[in-house]
Amino acid sequence: MRRSDEVCFRTARPGKNVLKWLSKEARSKFLKTLAENKEHYTLCVEAAAYRMAQRFHMAALGV
């Protein structure tokens, strides 16, 4: 029996999109991390805000 925090490495059945399954797994792990650790969410938002500010600054410079 596997623990809930372990990643389940399974092979996709023939004809199934492996990347779709992998992205679904990554998204669920990310959302679980956000739900369990509010500080992680704050860091993600701060990083996104910094990137957005940099884009606005570069656009203002005409770059």
Instruction: Name residues whose C-beta falls within 8 Å of residue 25's C-beta, 6 or more positions apart in sequence.
Output: 7, 8
Residue 6: predicted pLDDT: 58
> Is the confidence at residue 5, as pLDDT, over 60?
no
Model confidence band, residue 8 (pLDDT cutoffs 50, 70, 90)? low
Structural domain boundaries of the chain? 38-63
Q: How far apart are CA 51 and CA 17, in angstroms?
A: 32
Copy the structure tokens of residue 54.
């940099």
Q: How far is CA 42 from CA 3, 30, 35, 38, 46, in A?
A: 27, 13, 12, 7, 6
Give the pTM: 0.42
